A = this chain, B = another copy of it.
């Protein structure tokens, strides 16, 4: 699991039916020092996160499907928490 910051969303009109009722967010994975790095990932929201929020990312399909209570669905990465504080190497926390 990694810490990321929500950047914005994805607009897609032609896609798998699962995505009709779920928001896809563009998330910047934070590096060791808590800064936005060069990696991004597209995740399905479960905690009403919005742009600028620091979030906990889970990158596993089975877990993600269980969260939505479905046996099947095209999901791999999910936002599972909003992070208030964490021990980044930059020392922002304890």
Contact = CB atoms under 8 A, between A and B. Distances in A.
Contact of A76 (B1, B51, B88): B1
Contacts of A87: 7-10, 26, 51
Interface residues of A, number: 59
A58 B78 contact: no
A39 to B, nearest CB: 7
Contacts of A3: 10, 42
Nearest to A94: B8
Contacts of A81: 12, 14-16, 19
5 contacts: A11-B83, A15-B47, A40-B89, A67-B74, A74-B80
